[in-house]
Structure 1
């Protein structure tokens, strides 16, 4: 059965598109007909060189490199998907978070979107069309005090910035939307589940259960798959979502317990 929508002929910049939900999003966009450019710190062998820009987006220089490459290779940019995010902060609560740790979390989870939008949105606005999707996290609503305080705060800042940007540019033809995943079953998250399982003397499913319990439970009983997150992002980038802007879409299996 054919897809209910297409991205045929669209150009898309998708940051951090070589692993997990980012890789799934790149793959789906290409299947739907989009011309995609992505980024990573190192280029994986399976992606053609013309599809990827190697850059460290946690730096101003890296964002400038990617923005320049996007303008050169894509010309008009129809869609920007800010997939980049993550955390390297230590456990231990607020006292373990030095100024350097806070800067690292903001440099990875907030500033790449701010810098790339500032560089690329002016052309979208001149052309009167485009879609910007900021990938946040349910951690902005459910921070884990022992391990994700700085990450959650950075994602909360990204969400607030995204909402404000939508109010500024939507009347000029550019939609801005947020996608906030919960736990996604990626290679790295499965490694964590394996480690927790070994420490607890259980199997992989037991390790997954430990993670789900730490999150307060996932009513559907499992994490989201990268492809499911990609499906939501592609829909929001398509013409079927033409009047959706300024909104946040949570994809977490019901983890967030509030309205």
Structure 2
């Protein structure tokens, strides 16, 4: 047993951080897909334009923030798995839910908790800095007038402070995530953005290998082959063993 004791207020902070992670991951998925060299599946071309609905600006920090979160969740899901003799899930979201479900039953002085508080605090702070908003609000994109919008996570509607337009929060965020998943890029471009279910970097060669095995559909644009970001994200969430079994 470790001598490090997790005080009740810090346990509460750990659980609060875990509860916030699914929403934060959605924000990061939206942010990481933003680039001026990949475009939507509808046009299948390299379009350079400032219009947000066609091409989104790239935030390279989102990929690292997401990998760091995935790495922490994988590490501590494995520790909890060993402590309770129950297999841990392999995807980041399911690992988060696994920790939320089982951590309350583990004693405060368990080795499972060593470093968890600090690690979660570090990666969630990085995530919120990356998406550039307060932790208590979620991004809702831009109003038609151009003003950036944000809302409380439980809000149904948000009103633009400039023009008064009312936006449905859940519908807008669903549209933003759908748009992000439809972004297209070459294997090299997408490899810069993503990690697998274990938090490891995805190589361009692995993406091309998935395409050769029929797991990804490529689209030829000029001299390049591009792939849909959403399809690659779904493959990244699978355990590495499943790639080999289904090869």
Larger of the two Rg values belongs to structure: 2
User: TM-score, normalising length from structure 2?
Assistant: 0.31
User: TM-score, normalising length from structure 1?
Assistant: 0.30
